[in-house]
Structure 1
Amino acid sequence: MSIKVPSVKDVAKLAGVSVATVSNVISEQKYVSPELTVRVNNAIKELNYRPSKIARSLKGMKTYQIGLMIPDITNPYFAELARGAESIALKKGYQVLLCNTDGDSAREEKARIAFEENRVDGIINVAPRMKTEKLLAFNHVPTVIVDRPLSVEQSKFGVVFADNSKGACQLAKHLFEKGHRRFACLTAPYDDIPSVKHRINGFKKYLIENGIDDEDILFLNGKLRYKSGYELMNELLKIKNRPTAVFACSDIMAWGALEAAKKAHLNIPKDIAIAGFDNIYYSEILDPTLTTINQPKSETGEIAMQMLLDRLNKSNNRKIIRTHSVILDTELIIRGST
C-alpha cells in the first residue's frame, strides 16, 4: 500500500484558504495576512508537507540554487562567512552550492562557468582573484562580490566589504602607541588581493604620517597561509636589527609567525609583538592570544545573501538590504600578543 504524499491542495484545504494563498506564504513573494500565514504554516507542519523544488523551478524558471565561491574553505574566516550566507538562503528556500577556488583565478573562472551552466539563480563571489576586466565580463547572472571593493561606476554587481584600511590604521596606531618604531608586514601579492592592498596601505599611511621612515617598515611577501607566516617569520628573525612589531595580513599568517617566534624562544610581546587581521575563532585561544582586527564574518555572508536575494526577488520587505554597496566597520581587538 503506497503512502499518499501531501500536496499543496491538501494544505489549502486543511488551512481553509486557496492554493494561491499557500503558494504566496511559501514563496513570500506577495503579502499574506499574519492570521492566514499562521494557518497555512500550521497546516504545512501538520501534514509534513514539502514543497516541490522541481515544480517551483518549472513554474518560475528558477532553480532556487545559489552559487557561492570562496578561495579557501579551510580558513575559518571564509567558513564563518559561508555559514552566514547559507543561513539566510535556507530561510528563503534556497540551496547553496559551494565551490572552493583555492585562490586560483583559473579555477574561479571555471567555477563561474559551471554555475552558469547549472543555471543557478545568483552567485556570491568571495575575494575573487580574477583581473577586474574579466570579473566584470561575467555579468550574465545576478552577482554579489564580497571582500573586494568595486566602484558603482565599474559594475552592476552588489558589493560587500569591510573597511580594511581603517582596521589596519587602528592596528598601526595601537602598535605605535605601545612604543614600537620598527615594523614588518607579512603580506600577499597586492594585485591579486585588493583587500590586502588596502590593509597594507592603511597600516603604512598611519606610520608615515606619524614620523616613521619607509626604511623602518619592512615588507615580506608570501601567501595568506599558516606555513607562509611561519617561513616569513623565520626570515625576519635572521635580520640583525629586526623589527619589534609584526603585522600579518591574516590571522592564519599571524598564527604561523607566532609559532615560529615561540620556537626561537622569543618572549611575545616583550621581544616581538605580533598582530593579525580577521579575528577568526581560534585567535583568542592561541598562546599568547592574538591581537587582531575583527571583521563581521557571519554578518558579511548574511548581508551578501540578503542583497542577492533582494535582487532576485524584488522583495517589498524593507528589512532586506537594497544598497548597491555596503562597507562594514572593523574593530581593534587587543590581546596578549602585543
Structure 2
Amino acid sequence: MATMKDIARLAGVSTSTVSHVINSSRYVSEEISERVNKAAKELNYTPSALARSFKMNRTKTFGMLMTTSTNPFFGEVVKGVERSCYQQGYNLIVCNTEGDQVRMKASINTLLQKRVDGLILMCSSLVGERFDIFEQYPDIPIVVMDWGPMHFTSDKIQDNSLRGGYLAAKYLVESGHQSIGCITGPLNLYQAQMRYEGYKRALNEANLSFNGDWIVESDFNCEGGYQAFNTIYSKGTLPSAIFVCNDMMAMGVINAANEKGIRIPEDVSLIGYDDIHIAKFMSPGLTTIHQPKYRLGQSAVEMLLKRLEDPSRDAHVVQLEPTLVERSSVKKISQ
C-alpha cells in the first residue's frame, strides 16, 4: 500500500507538503498540488480515515439513537439525517433501543466509545433520564428531537405539537363538527400531551363541550387506534369527527370502522397527525397535520455542525411548524 513518503518521492517534494495537499491543511501552490495529486493517483493512494481522524480529532461520523417503531414517521426522519450526513461528508451510525433502557444506555456507551463527532437522540425513553456518561464527554455535541425536558445539556429540535393539535381540532370545528372526539398518544409523552392540549384549546375556544366517552388514550400504533375506536364505539353514540393524534392510529381506526360498516367521512370524519408518506394512499385519503420530517433530520445535522464550529454557543431550540394537509377523510357539515 502506497504511503505519503512514496508520493513525496515520486512528486519530488517533502512528506509534509504531501500531507498539506492531501488534508488541505495549508496553502500549496497549484503546480505542486497537481504534482502531488498526480503522484497519488499513479500510486493508487488511499488516505487512512482512521489516521486522519486521530490527527484532526474528528471521525466524520455522527451517531443516532432511536426507538424501533413500525411507524414510518421515524424512517422518514432518519432518511433526512442520512442524506444530510452524506451531503456533508459524514457517516452515520444508527442504534435502535427497542424501548429497552439497558440497551439504550449500552448503545450510548458504544457510540461514544466509537468517538462519534456528535449524537442525535430520538428516543422517548430519554425523558427525565440523567446520564452521567455525558459528563465524561463534555465536548460531544448532542441534539435531541422533541422528547420533553432533559437532564443534560443539548440543542433541541421540536415540533410545535400544541399548535398542531389546535390546527387539527379547529379544522374540524370550521368544517361544522360540534361533537369531536380525540384518540391521544401516551399522555406521559410530551408530544402526545401537547397535541391533546391543542385539541382542548380549540374546543374551548369554540365553546364546545367534552364527552369523556369520546376521549381515549392509546399508544401511537395501528393496533392502539383499532382498539381505541372499538372503545368509543362500545360507549354508544359516536362523535361526528375524531382527531386521531397520529396517522398510524388513524389507519387502525379506519380498519375498525370498516369492519363495523361505518363510513369515513360520511358517518365519522377523521383527521390524523404526521402526514406519513402512505397517508395520501389510504382510503379515503387522510386529512392530517404535516410534520416536516425530512427537515427535522436535516436540522439535526445542521445543529451538530454548528455546535462543532462553535462549541461555546448557548444551547439552541429550533421549532418546526406543522401545517394542515386536506384530503378526503373530513366531511364538511352545513351550518
TM-score > 0.5 by shorter chain = yes
Q: Extract unaligned runs of 5+ from structure 2.
A: 331-335
Instruction: Check whether the contact 1:188–1:224 (CA below 8 A) recurs between aligned residues.
Output: yes
TM-score normalised by the chain length of structure 1: 0.81
SS of 1:89's partner is helix
Q: How far is 1:329 from its partner? A: 1.2
Q: Does 1:290 align with 2:286?
A: yes
- 1:136–1:267 CA distance, 2 compared to 1 (3 A): farther
Distance 1:230 1:323 in 2: 40
CA distance in 1, matches of 2:309, 2:261: 57
Match of 2:320 in 1: 328
* CA 213–58 in structure 1, closer or farther in 2 if over 3 Å, else same: same
The partner residue of 1:177 within 169, 174, 177 is 174
Write the mapping of 1:75-224 to structure 2, written as runs, cut at 5 A. Answer: 75-134=71-130, 138-139=134-135, 140=137, 141-150=140-149, 156-191=153-188, 193-215=189-211, 218-224=214-220
Residue pair 1:150, 1:159 contacting (<8 A) in 2 also: no
Mapped partners of 1:160, 1:44: distance in 2: 46
Q: Structure 1 164/49 Cα, relative in aligned 2: closer, same or farther at 3 Å?
A: farther
Closer, same or farther: CA 50–184 of 1 in aligned 2, 3 Å: farther
1:228 and 1:58 map into 2 onto residues whose CA distance is 48
2:23 aligned residue? 23
Match of 2:262 among 266, 274, 278: 266
Q: What amino acid is the match of 1:175?
A: L
CA 31–175 in structure 1, closer or farther in 2 if over 3 Å, else same: farther
1:131 deviates by 3.5
Q: 1:45 to 1:9 in 2, by over 3 A?
A: closer
Worse-matched range after superposition: 176-185 or 135-144: 135-144
Shift of 1:110: 3.1
Q: Mind listing any 5+ residue stretches in structure 1 that lack a counterpart?
A: 25-29, 316-320
Alignment partners' CA distance in 1, 2:102 and 2:206: 41
Q: 1:242 aligns with which of 221, 238, 242?
A: 238
- How far is 1:253 from its partner? 0.8
Distance 1:170 1:157 in 2: 29
CA–CA distance in structure 1, aligned partners of residues 180 and 327 of structure 2: 18
Q: Which runs of 4+ in 1 moved over 6 A?
A: 30-33, 42-48
Work out whether residues 269 and 336 of structure 1, in 8 Å CA contact, stay in contact via their aligned partners in 2.
yes
The whole-number CA distance in structure 2 between the counterparts of 1:323 and 1:306 is: 14
- Greater displacement, 142-151 / 155-164: 142-151
Quote the offset at 1:215 in angstroms.
2.8
Partner of 1:59: 55
Query: Deviations for 1:176-215, whole angstroms, at most 9, x for unmatched residues?
Result: 1112222222222222x21111111111111112101233
Deviation at 1:146, TM superposition (A): 0.7
Q: Distance in 1 between matches of 2:5 and 2:291?
A: 43
Distance 1:49 1:286 in 2: 53
CA distance in 2, matches of 1:326, 1:145: 11
| Residues 68 and 96, structure 2, Cα contact 8 Å, conserved in 1 | yes
Aligned residues: percent identity? Answer: 29
Taking the aligned partners of 1:329 and 1:31, their CA distance within structure 2 comes to 43
- Give, in whole Å, the separation in 2 of the partners of 1:69 and 1:39: 42
Q: Give the match for residue 333 of structure 2.
A: none
Query: Where does residue 300 of structure 1 map in the other structure?
Result: 296
Judged with a 3 Å threshold, the aligned counterparts in structure 2 of structure 1 residues 73 and 232 are, in CA distance, closer, same or farther, namely closer
Are the structure 2 counterparts of residues 22 and 180 from structure 1 closer, same or farther at C-alpha, using a change threshold of 3 Å?
same
In 2 relative to 1, CA 254–105 (structure 1 residues): closer, same or farther, beyond 3 Å?
farther
Aligned 1:248-259 pairs, distance under 5 A: 248-259=244-255
| Cα distance in 1 for residues equivalent to 2:227 and 2:38 | 60
How many residues get paired?
Answer: 318
Counterpart-to-counterpart distance in 1, 2:329 and 2:3:
59
Q: More displaced, 122-131 or 228-237?
A: 122-131
* 2-structure distance, mates of 1:327, 1:170: 16
